[in-house]
Structure 1
Amino acid sequence: MSIDYAARFEGLSSDTLFELEYGGLSPDIAGSDLDAPQKHVEQLLVVLAQWRAELVGGSRADAEDYRRCLDAVREAWLQHSFRWVGGPDLPYPFDLPQAVTA
């Protein structure tokens, strides 16, 4: 049975990382876990490393899903890294809409 790696990345966004950091609390309330987003992303990078090894080894053929999940991690971490209360209003995602890239 094949591991559904892509399922581990469902719903990943800077919002989910922000939620991990503050646990549903307001950012100005004590009790946040500032390391939680980084720990989560590190776990996902381990998953991506295993998935990549299987793709390179030829035991999997879901490279498009891998790329989509890798891009989701990049985007979520980029957005989270530059997000703070009172910070700049950033577009999500940074990718251009399909109509502009076509």
Structure 2
Amino acid sequence: MSTERTIEALRTFMAERDWGQFHSPENLAKSISIEAAELLECYQWDGDADRDEVTGELADVLTYALLLADRLDLDPEQIVLDKLERTGRKYPVEKAKGRSTKYDRL
């Protein structure tokens, strides 16, 4: 499923329930953080989290992220590609490959 089809499905789902009224950028950003914490909780005590639980929580994070991008009239794919380009300049392959060092210490 393409990102545009997914966003359109989200728009329809939210409109049918009149939930858009609750989706201010602030509320969506909060929801991303809350759902990310729930995703992290899947790994709280060991690294072998239940795949179904992880899948559900990751879906929640992605859902709110897509809703926020839509609300801010941002193209999710384009903002990821733009960020990759900026990050690539900060972390050139010849300096960063195989290293987790922060860019200002490479």
What TM-score bracket applies, with the shorter chain setting the length? Answer: 0.3 to 0.5
Larger Rg: 2
Higher RCO (C-alpha 8 Å, min separation 6): 1
TM, length-normalised to structure 2: 0.40
Q: TM-score, normalised by structure 1?
A: 0.41
Higher helix share: 2
